[in-house]
Each structure stands twice: as structure tokens, then as C-alpha cells.
Amino acid sequence: MQEILNAPFVAELIRTLTNMYRHGWDERNGGNVSVRLDEDALRDYLDLRAVRRTIPTGFDAPDLDGEYFLITGTGKYFKNAQYAPDRDLGLVRLAEGGRQADLLWGFTDGGSFTSEFPAHMMSHLARRRVDPETRVVMHCHPGNLLAMTFVHELDERAFTRTLWRMCTECLMVFPDGVNVLPWMVCGTTAIGEATARKMETARLVVWAHHGIYASGRDLDETFGLIETAEKAAEVYLKIAHLPICSSITDSQLHEIESRFGVKARPGYLDPAPGSVLPETVQPMSSWA
């Protein structure tokens, strides 16, 4: 049996959490991350029959029964994960219709998973229906996106269009746009359900005056989604009070669609001359 701390999925999560903290996205114990793992990836590192303890989840998720998740702990500081990963992280398997989590590794101080666990699991379910390869849900508090929710209307189309116009790469990175929730109490089933509904149509969901939820196929993709949207929000805040002399137009955004094989969310751009907008979101092809 190999040492689990040497497992690529643990090392990558630690590296990501450290970067998130250094970016200023996860002050104190703010933020949480979960990664869905296959059983085959775990067998070399854990005895999957050895359950250390069980933790109630507080909700039903029969479609996730038997699934494995590496997840951050409640009250844990991301800056410390690199020094005490077996304390600040946990690996769980859902059981009993999702009402119970079997702890297989981690949380050695007796702790538990993040209070946003229901929101994570609901978002995993929602995104998996859209893209079965989705494996990561990430929540953090990027300062510029958070600030933008105070000064920009929260209409999703308007919010998305503003971000797309701030950096040429934005439409390429998140053509499905950004969904927005009004302020809600965090750590509740209600905000988890609302976030999951928003995740059905976009991989980025902004929580007004709080932060952002993102989902992707791996940690790099998910981190990059937030990083790109956060850069766009930073540019917006730097120029919003200034007279605008030039801007990326809808026609130019349509050029990006053509050049890089992406399709903007239907109805979010004005139609190109002589064209008709598609009725459904088309798959995003690689532009790297």
C-alpha cells in the first residue's frame, strides 16, 4: 500500500489550496473544495473497507451513493493544508442513500467536512448531468468579483456581458456565462439547491456579496475559470468610473466564436448581421 500523501490527487489539491490562499481568495477558513475520485484511483493508497468513522450529511443524495470525494474540512485554513493535510482534508464515501459519509482518511483531529457539503454534492450532481466528466466543485471569495456584486446590476446576462468585454479570453474560457444568486444565508440546503439549479446552465455561479462557486473537469480547469473571471472583474472595477473610449463589441465577440470554435450562451450576444442565434448551448472545444 502506497502512502496516500504521495498520491497525485492529494498533492494537486494541496497545491491548489495553497495557490487559492496566496491569491487572497480564501481568507481565514473561507472557501471549500471537493474532488470526485474513482475507486480505481484509490485502491493503491487505502483499504477501502476500513471506515474510520461515519459522519451524517444532513441530506439525501441516492445518485451519489458509493461515490468518493476528497474534500476540505470545516473551520480549516487553506494556508495550513500543506503542513497538516491529514487534519485539514478528508476522503469520504457516501452511503445510505447519501445520508451518511464514511470517512476513509483524514480529519484526524475529529473534524468534519465543510459546512457547504450539501451545496457541493448538489452541484456535483447538477454538473454531472450536463458533463459526466465533471469532478471538481470549488468555492472561494475573490475580492474583485465580490466587489463587483455591490456596484453592478445582478442580471445574469448583463453581468456576463460585462465580464466577456473586459478580457478577450473570457468568452473562450466561459462561453456558458456566469449565473448569479442574490444574497442568501450560506451553509444551508436552500443555497445549495439554488446553486445547483444555476449550475445546470453555467459552470460559474456568483454568490452576491459573498463569493463564487465553480465546477470543472479537474482542479486546473476550475481554478482557471475563477482566475479568468476574477481578472475581468478587476479590470471592470479599474475602469467603471472612467469614460470608455473603446470596448470589445458583440461583433468582435462573434469573431472570437468563429476563430476558436466556441458558442456564446444563446441570447447573450446581439446576433451577427445575417445570422440566427442557436437555440442551445454548443459544446466548448479546446482553444489552448
Q: Does 3.40.50.300 match the CATH number of domain 1-115?
A: no
Global pTM? 0.90
pLDDT in tens, 147-204: 999 999 999 999 999 999 999 999 999 999 999 999 999 888 899 999 999 999 999 9
Report the amino acid identity of residue 264: A
pLDDT computed for residue 279 by the predictor = 44
Do 30 and 140 contact (CB within 8 A), yes or no? yes
pLDDT computed for residue 277 by the predictor = 42
pLDDT computed for residue 187 by the predictor = 84
pLDDT computed for residue 288 by the predictor = 27
Q: Does 3.40.50.970 match the CATH number of domain 133-266?
A: no
pLDDT computed for residue 273 by the predictor = 67
Q: Residue 138: pLDDT band by 50, 70, 90 thresholds? A: very high
pLDDT computed for residue 285 by the predictor = 33
Across all residues in the chain, what is the average pLDDT? 92
**Pairing relationship of beta strands 100-106 and 89-95 according to DSSP bridges:** antiparallel
* pLDDT of 217 over the 50 cut: yes
DSSP structural state of residue 6: G
Q: Is there a common fold for 1-115 and 133-266?
A: yes
More confident position, 50 or 279: 50
Q: Residue 59: pLDDT band by 50, 70, 90 thresholds? A: confident
* Residues belonging to the chain: 288
The residues, ordered by sequence, that sit 6+ positions from 279 with a Cβ below 8 Å of its Cβ are 266
* pLDDT of 281 over the 50 cut: no
Residue 262 burial (CB count, 10 A): 21
| Burial (0-12, 13-18, 19+ Cβ within 10 Å), 166 | buried
List the end-to-end C-alpha distance of the chain, in Å, as a whole number. Answer: 37
pLDDT computed for residue 60 by the predictor = 86
Cell numbers at 142, concatenated: 475573490
Max CA pair span of the chain: 64
pLDDT computed for residue 189 by the predictor = 85
Helix pair angle (143-151, 219-239), 10° resolution: 50
Residue numbers annotated as active site: 116
pLDDT computed for residue 201 by the predictor = 97
CA 113 to CA 163: how far, in whole Å? 33
DSSP structural state of residue 31: -
- Domain positions in the chain: 1-115, 133-266
